[in-house]
Structure 1
Amino acid sequence: MGKRNNQRKNKAMLDSDDENSSVSSSSTARSDLMSVSGTDEVQVDKDSLLEQALDALYEKRGSTREKALAAIIDAFNTNLQHQFVEKKFATLLHLCLNSIKKGSSKEISLACHAIGLLALTVGSGDNAHEILEESVIPISQALKSQSDSLKTVSLVDCLAIVTFVGATKTEETERSMQIMWQLLHPKLGSNVVAVKLPAVVITAVVSAWAFILTTMDGCSLNSKDWQEYISYFSTLLDKDDRSVRIASGEALASIFETGSIEKFATENKTTPDGSVPEGNKSREGYTHILGLKSKILNQVRSLSAEAGGKGSAKKDLNSQRNLFKDVLEFLEDGYAPDISMKIGGDSLQTSTWSELIKLNFMKHFLGGGFIKHMQVGFLGPAFVCPSCFLCDALLFLLVSIAF
């Protein structure tokens, strides 16, 4: 079957609510910073404001540190000067890590966001790699205490961002993916108790996992581990929560896009010299792969046409149907959805699942700051915003997306 001529194109328009939310957030953060610094006058020097916020992170009072982190996040989201990052990179990183180690759930969440923005601002290179290596252990340890959904989601999002920007080896990416996998599917033992994760956490972890997957080369995947991943995501398609189903559908589409299923089937079907193996174990493995793919196709087909039920949210139902229609077409015909996002007077196009997952995750992480940075960064001279280096980071992040 050829690609349908009237293939659905999703358009994400600039929402005035996002703009208002961003302005409101900025005003609040600046007001907080003024109370942190104890000044009554509004200071226009943004470097000075950032310096005050940085100094406030040394304070013992948790609420003071929270206000300072909120102000730093606002500065990064709006107009961060590169000189500040160059001078204070290590100090900001380690103060944020201290907040992750000893802060409240709110402080941890803010610190995670600040670290993620710092990684995006410095872009790929030695500093980004340092952020990753310095952050992995504190984040991993904090995730062992799953006392709060907001904290857990923020930690996972931060790990995804710093890994995406800072990882230089496949092993580093796989390490972060394994940390996330242990949250979803822990290996139970005498000292490990199974914890039922809230749907919001499952959705966040699966989305973050899929986001990191977009950097992986299908040739480096281990078939045994990835069969386990695919089987687990298939079970999530049967969950009651639609956000969990949607995140799992995107993760599976991303796995299939790497060519992993074909690779797994080939590994189980042939020996190193290309001949068909005689052992029952190999034949069973190949049969398992085919059966798993068939099961997922049936699940996807069903979810793309779900009728809904009493009390179900129509918006979520439509999102699910649309997503799984795209996944179904991809699995059957090999075509990923064409997505168009309107930014100002221009459009950003994606044509692969990898590109779409990157874009959606960045929209989620940057929130109200996403449109502003994308609009200035993409529409400015040579696609560079001279006063905001986060735009450069976004260009680095979305380098594979066709404009």
Structure 2
Amino acid sequence: MPKGKRKGKSDRGRFDGSLHTSDDDSYNDNNSIISNCSENKSLEDGEDIEEFAQEQFEDKLVEMLDGLSQKSSQGRINSIQLLRKALIKKYVPNFVRERHFTICDSVEKSLKKGNGLEKSAAAELAPLITVQLGEEDAGEIVDKTLRPILITIACDTSVNATARAKCCLALGMMGFLSGRQLGDILSLMQNLEGIFSGSYLKGDGSIPNITPEVANLHAAALSAWTLLLTNMPPGSLTDLISSKTLPSLDQLSELLESPHLEVRLTAGEALALIFEEGRKDNSDFADDFAMYISETFKKLATDSHKYRAKKDRKQQRATFRDILSFIEDDIVPEIQVKFGREILILDTWAKRKQYEALCNVLGPGINLHLGENDLLRDIFEISAPIVQPHEAPAHAQQHMERCRKRLINAAAFKARTISRAKNRDKRSDF
């Protein structure tokens, strides 16, 4: 029996347009994409190309948002990850502002009903929404909506440790960016301390035996706690430690004895930041403790135990050398971050912590956001660069022109491909 013609992908879900097709409406195979698009926009115009690329990018974002509500758990995870990568790659505050309720609702559902992987993916997306929105009321709405469920998951011992760690980091970043009142920040810091206190020494002075996954959770909670510490009002730190609202220096120093590298490093950074903030108000802040803890820092800065990985020993020695230099000589090693034609100088432990936390959220997109995101520029006090077009060297102008032409050609090729694909479908129907 002869088999009928198989339907291709282009035939799926489409009516037969040939019933109403005339000779005038038939597809002209000689038409080019340039002639088809010339009535609407000129691909030779740089502004039109940029607008076209922006429209294409936002169309993809809309498709990703639609994918957040699909039934498949893995499909939702994929959509969340794609959306996160897209928001890292480009700064689109207007798009996020118009749809922040939809995004928040999807993230909240994934946090409540998803498995460990979905909870982790949703927790990674949550602070990125706040970074995109910046200092807007919408950012505070996002924080108020997602904070309760994030705290619940972070403190739930039945949830996967990795998902809890992601929630801790999200809480730290969202709390830092939202600019909440001191009472709200302290309440969140106490929740986080309740998590990383599991790495304090036991009552008999012995080191608790915890798994690497739980150690990473404690390090994440302590890292978020330290980030929130950079938001403390001037002059409040000493009183908060004295009143036991915040953990004592002795308690935090116990974390330096942890067998897990991340816990030791994060504890050292937390102590350095406390000394930095304390010395702003009193140059003799905790001098007796500084002498005691310097010995511990020296041991960690010269650690040569062979049972630790060579990479871990190297990282630990470098970090604690910097911390020891600050405790003893009040010197913070300066770090320069170049982005575009600008340079960001990290000359305090607070700035280093804030930059590290933002890098964890934005990854490779940190340089783009430092150049375009007003919130980040305000945090690091980056002034607007003064650049005169004629100051650019000739080879730089040539490079920019080549890049512009390459973008125009790429956009034209993409538009041509899309148009031809549509016209092929019409031709097959005809």
Q: TM-score, normalised by structure 1?
A: 0.72
CA distance in 2, matches of 1:183, 1:64: 31
Q: Is residue 2:256 matched to residue 1:259?
A: no
Indicate the SS of the match to 2:257.
Answer: coil
Indicate the SS of the match to 1:45.
Answer: helix
Counterpart selection for 1:162 from 171, 174, 193: 174
CA deviations over 1:185-225 (Å, ceiling 9, x no partner): 2799xxxxx99462212222221211111111242231232
Deviation for aligned residue 1:75 = 1.6
Q: Is residue 2:89 matched to residue 1:63?
A: no
Counterpart selection for 1:212 from 204, 208, 228: 228
Equivalent position of 1:312 in the other structure: 308
CA distance in 1, matches of 2:341, 2:280: 40
Deviation for aligned residue 1:108 = 1.2
Write out aligned runs for 1:288-367 (5 A).
291-306=288-303, 308-343=304-339, 346-367=342-363
Indicate the SS of the match to 1:347.
Answer: strand
Moved over 6 A (4+): 260-266, 400-403
CA distance in 2, matches of 1:69, 1:117: 11
Q: Is residue 2:249 matched to residue 1:230?
A: yes
Deviation for aligned residue 1:369 = 2.5
Equivalent position of 2:109 in the other structure: 98
CA deviations over 1:215-255 (Å, ceiling 9, x no partner): 11242231232673422220011122222211111100101
Number of corresponding residues: 320
Kindly provide the amino acid, as one letter, of the partner of residue 317 in structure 1: R
Q: Is residue 2:58 matched to residue 1:47?
A: yes
**Percent identity among equivalent residues?**
25
Indicate the SS of the match to 1:219.
Answer: coil
CA distance in 2, matches of 1:210, 1:125: 24
Deviation for aligned residue 1:265 = 8.4
CA deviations over 1:312-345 (Å, ceiling 9, x no partner): 2222222222222221121122222211234456
Deviation for aligned residue 1:111 = 1.1
CA distance in 2, matches of 1:170, 1:227: 13
Equivalent position of 2:30 in the other structure: none
Bigger Cα displacement from structure 2, 195-204 vs 361-370: 195-204
Query: Residues 402 and 220 (structure 1 numbering): CA distance in 2 closer, same or farther, change over 3 Å?
Result: farther
Deviation for aligned residue 1:392 = 2.9
Query: Residues 291 and 168 (structure 1 numbering): CA distance in 2 closer, same or farther, change over 3 Å?
Result: same
Q: Is residue 2:219 matched to residue 1:203?
A: yes
Equivalent position of 2:417 in the other structure: none
Equivalent position of 2:142 in the other structure: 131
Kindly provide the amino acid, as one letter, of the partner of residue 393 in structure 1: L
Deviation for aligned residue 1:373 = 3.7
Indicate the SS of the match to 2:333.
Answer: coil
Query: Residues 122 and 227 (structure 1 numbering): CA distance in 2 closer, same or farther, change over 3 Å?
Result: closer
Deviation for aligned residue 1:56 = 2.2
Deviation for aligned residue 1:358 = 0.8
Indicate the SS of the match to 1:110.
Answer: helix
Q: TM-score, normalised by structure 2?
A: 0.67
Indicate the SS of the match to 2:345.
Answer: strand
Structure 1 alignment gaps of length 5 or more: 1-37, 189-193, 267-288, 378-383, 385-390
Bigger Cα displacement from structure 2, 291-300 vs 160-169: 291-300
Indicate the SS of the match to 1:340.
Answer: strand
Deviation for aligned residue 1:52 = 2.1
Kindly provide the amino acid, as one letter, of the partner of residue 133 in structure 2: V
Q: Is residue 2:132 matched to residue 1:121?
A: yes
- Judge conservation of contact 1:152–1:201 (CA < 8 Å) in 2: yes
Query: Residues 88 and 195 (structure 1 numbering): CA distance in 2 closer, same or farther, change over 3 Å?
Result: farther
Query: Residues 46 and 402 (structure 1 numbering): CA distance in 2 closer, same or farther, change over 3 Å?
Result: closer
CA distance in 1, matches of 2:151, 2:293: 31
Equivalent position of 2:47 in the other structure: none
Equivalent position of 2:24 in the other structure: none
Query: Residues 81 and 135 (structure 1 numbering): CA distance in 2 closer, same or farther, change over 3 Å?
Result: same
